[in-house]
Every structure is written in structure tokens, then in C-alpha cells.
Amino acid sequence: KTLLNQDLAGDEILVVSNREPYIHVNTPNGVKVQRPASGLVTAVEAVMRACSGTWIAHGAGSADRDTVDANDHVRVPPENPSYTLRRVWLSKEEEQGYYYGFANEGLWPLCHIAHVRPVFRSTDWAEYVRVNQRFADAVIAEARSDNPVVLVQDYHFALLPRMVRAVLPKATIITFWHIPWPNPESFGICPWREEILDGMLGSTILGFHTPFHRKNFLDTVDRYLETRIENEASTVSYGNELTQVKPYPISIAWPEPAPGECDVAACRAEIRQALSLPADQLLGIGVDRLDYTKGIVERFQAVERMLELHPDMVGKFTFVQIAAPTRSSLDEYQNFEARVRALAQRINQRFSSGSYLPIILKTEHHEQAQLRTYFRASEVCSVTSLHDGMNLVAKEFIAARDDEQGVLILSQFTGAARELHEALIVNPYHIEEGAEALYRALRMPQDEQRERMRTMRLRVRDFNVYRWAGRMLQDAARLRQRERVRSRI
Ligand code: G6P
């Protein structure tokens, strides 16, 4: 954290993301503040608390307009205000075209390659362009200097870097792409591929989670734009501009010991009691947004196969899936939810006896502290994304296990698998392999669990979210310094 503050000394920081860190919801008991399920928010929030600044985001909550001042500003977090949140309000058409349409029916499946066909409509594209311009205008309006540091988050804002650069040529624009980047052939089906690449190259620094995604991006740029790529220096020169393209693996804030948190034995008892399970029930946990990229169907199939292959586990093992509904107005997500529910029901019918059900599916909102109790109470955590930029749930599970017990099952197609080698790494498409990994996890000796968990804990503690942001900001500070020297010559 200290490093972060040094890097930022005196610089103005503006963050832009679609998702806001605090959603204000009207309830019969007044306005409630919720934290959305989003890896992006988990990471960037921690950084903003440490370094202050202004965060510009889409005002999505039903009660937002009651909570802001005349400039659409509100100080957050509610319990300890340390930075400013500026909401941009979108019309129904804008939200439909830009967020649901182009971002989530186009770019999301395009970049994830989870075998869901991307949809590209020119009407959505027009809204995407328009909303990017509206957010760029908000950045420009919020900037107090002509050279702010602007941190642009994710696939919702591919065009914004160029738009901000046009008005604030001296700004340091750091864009971080939180989802995977596909190979050039896959990306090439996007009708507006050149515009997207051109928009992103308005950035000073462009970050991806892994070297692999960075390479895919450089290959894509090489294929579709006239640029010069210096692999050694990690730069793309395009027109008169230079963009540094680098991997910055994202992480979480390493948790401070939480006063009053239940010890692991108490967490285990609390969760089993809440779920009416026997005290010695073996527990698996999955925590995801209800999204087709997360491999929830394959995970349930692996549970089913494990129970088939190892009947000794029937009655003894329960898998709890917490799945926060997301983007629910899209057909693809509604169909996915129906598939997940039907599969859980079928597996439950097949193996139920008395009050025993092998799968418990919970789709309501869960607070961070509740999730941590689940993580601490479980034998195994299953992260089986079909494709994922990083996946912070894997890191949160590890951070929650200060008892150095518990096994992580991790998809080889997550960015996290490049760092957490001591997890049981699986191909989520291979159901037998998933089943055997689950069985192995449930029977893993405590010593082996400790050895694996200890190594992973050290890694996540050291490579935490402050280091993620710190490395980007250090690179930015170096470039700014060079620029200052150059302008004096
Ligand atoms: C991913 C994206 C984030 C997004 C999150 C939740 O992690 O990279 O940008 O915030 O999913 O999705 P939502 O559409 O609910 O914001």
C-alpha cells in the first residue's frame, strides 16, 4: 500500500468502469448498499481505498439518484469515505445497446470462446460508441489537470482511451482488460475490429492478466492494423504514438485479521447447521456469477460422476454452489440458469435419500463475510471456468484458509492456473478428470493440504492487488518522468 501511495504522489487519479463499487437498492426498509459480484470491483475498490481519487461508473442501482449531490458525486465507502464516486446515468436504450448488447452479447463471448456465438448488431455498436463518448466526456469534465492518470477498466470501454487522448493528449491512460484476449482469427469476426484496436491503442499502457493474452493481442494488432511491434520493449507504435502492452496479473487485497471472525471449527459448525447437515458432512463450495463461462454445468457433472464412481461418498458429500444472477435479461443467461437448475435437480433426484441432496444451489446475494465463512467451512473449492481472465474466487478461497487446510480445484483455462500450481489443475471439459480430482481432494492427507496451501498463500499474499496496481503505476510514473525530461529539452 505504501508503495502505491509513493507512486501516486501528487498525481490525479481517475478510474472508469461500467460496474460501480456500491449499488444502492430501494427496499421496504429503506436504501440498502450492496457490493456487486465482480472481480473487477473486488480489485479496484481495494486500490481506490488506498489512494483516493475519483471513480466514474454507470449508476445502476434503483436508489442511486437519491444518494448523490448536484454533481452526481457521492463519497464512499459508506462506512469510511475515502474516495469520490461519480455516476453516469444511462437511458434504457443506451444500457441495452452498449452493456447488454455490444459488451455482453458481442465482446464477452468473442473474448471468452466458451462456444456461445457472439452477436453483433450495428444498433448496439452505435450505442457502444455513444456511451464510450459519454464516459470520455465525464473523464474530461472531472479532470482538474491536463495530465491526469486515467485507469480505464475492461471491455466496456475499448474506444474511450482514444476519445480521452483526443482532448487530453498529455494524460497517462492505463487500460486494463479484465477478460481474456482471443487469437487473431477469433477476434477477426468482429465487424468493428479495427475501430476497437485503434481505440485501445489510445492508451499509454495496456494491461492483460497473462503473457498469453498479451501475445494474442499483439498478434491481433499485427494482423489488422499498420503498426510496428517491438517485442523486447513490449511496445506498439501506431501513427505517432507508443503504447506499452504488458501482463499485470490481478489479485486481491490480502485480508487483515478480521476481529470477531469465527475460527475455522466454528465456521464449519455454523455452515453445517445452517444447511441442516450432519457435523461431519464433507463440503465442496463453488462461488460464481451465474455465467456460462464459469463451467458450472461441467462442475455438477463432475460431482455426479464422482458419486457414480465412488458410492462411498453418497450421503457424505454435499456441494454448495453460490451463483449470483447476472445479466439476467439476456436469453443466453436465462437459458443457462434454467440448464443449471434442471441439472442440479436431476442429480439431486438421482442420489437423494432421506433429507440428503448432493447439490445445494443458492442464487441469492451473499456478502463478502458470508462467502468467507463458506470458504473456511469447506473441504474443497471448485473453480472450473471454461475460460477466465484471472478468477479471483480462487485467490479468495486461499486467503480465507489461515488454517492451511482445504483443497483448490482449478481450471487450466483460468489466468490463476498460471500462478497457483499447487491447486489440483483440471480441464473442466474432461468430466472424469474433474470427478477424480474431487475424490482426490476429499481424501487428501492434511500434510499434503498444508504444503500446497502454504505455498499458494505465500504467493497470493506477496503478489496482492497493491502490487498489481503498483506495477502499472510504476511503469506509468517512469513514462511520465521521461516525458517531463523530454519536454524540458
Ligand atoms: C467480469 C468483468 C467485469 C464485470 C464482472 C461482473 O469480471 O470483467 O467487468 O464487472 O464480470 O459482471 P457485470 O456485468 O455484472 O458487471
Q: pLDDT tens, 114-144?
A: 999 999 999 999 999 999 999 999 999 999 9
User: What values do phi and psi take at 284, rounded to 5?
Assistant: -110, 150
Which are the contacts of 116, defined by CB distance < 8 A and separation ≥ 6? 109, 292, 332
**Bigger pLDDT: 159 or 29?**
159
- Do residues 41 and 34 lie in contact, with contact meaning Cβ atoms separated by under 8 Å? no
The pLDDT mean for the chain works out to: 94
Residue 64 pLDDT exceeds 60? no
Q: Residue 164 corresponds to which cell in the numbers above? A: 480521452
- Do residues 394 and 456 lie in contact, with contact meaning Cβ atoms separated by under 8 Å? no
Which atom of ligand 1 is nearest to 39's Cα? 7
d(CA 178, CA 417): 16
Q: How much is the pLDDT for 1?
A: 62
Q: How much is the pLDDT for 435?
A: 98
Whether ligand 1 lies within 6 angstroms of the CB of 40 is answered as yes
Mean of pLDDT values over 14-22: 95
- CA dihedral of residues 225, 216, 162, 465 (deg, nearest 10): -170
The residue with cell 485501445 is: 200
Which atom of ligand 1 is nearest to 41's Cα? 10
d(CA 337, CA 292): 9
End-to-end Cα distance, the chain: 34
d(CA 381, CA 368): 16
User: What values do phi and psi take at 476, rounded to 5?
Assistant: -65, -45
Helix (H) or strand (E) holding 409: strand 407-411
Q: What is the ipTM of this complex?
A: 0.99
Whether ligand 1 lies within 6 angstroms of the CB of 154 is answered as yes
List the residue whose alpha carbon is closest to atom 12 of ligand 1.
38
Which are the contacts of 163, defined by CB distance < 8 A and separation ≥ 6? 132, 133, 136, 199, 202
DSSP-assigned beta bridge partners for residue 187: none
Q: How much is the pLDDT for 69?
A: 67
Q: Using CB atoms within 10 Å of the CB of residue 163, give its burial: 0 to 12 exposed, 13 to 18 middle, 19+ buried.
A: buried
Distance from Cα 37 to the centre of ligand 1, integer Å: 8
Distance from Cα 41 to the centre of ligand 1, integer Å: 8
How would residue 4 be classed by pLDDT, with cut points 50, 70 and 90? low
d(CA 480, CA 459): 30
Whether ligand 1 lies within 6 angstroms of the CB of 326 is answered as yes
Half-sphere exposure of 280 (CA within 13 A, CB side): 3
* Helix/strand/coil for 56: strand
Whether ligand 1 lies within 6 angstroms of the CB of 179 is answered as yes
Helix (H) or strand (E) holding 457: helix 446-462
For residue 255, cis peptide bond before it (omega within 30 degrees of 0): no
Q: What is the separation of C-alpha 290 from the centre of its chain, rounded to a whole number of angstroms?
A: 13
What region does 115 belong to: left with phi over 0, alpha with psi -120 to 50, or beta? left
Whether ligand 1 lies within 6 angstroms of the CB of 38 is answered as yes
Q: Cβ of 342: how many Cβ atoms within 10 Å?
A: 11
Query: 149: which DSSP letter?
Result: E
Q: What pTM, to 2 d.p., does this model score?
A: 0.95
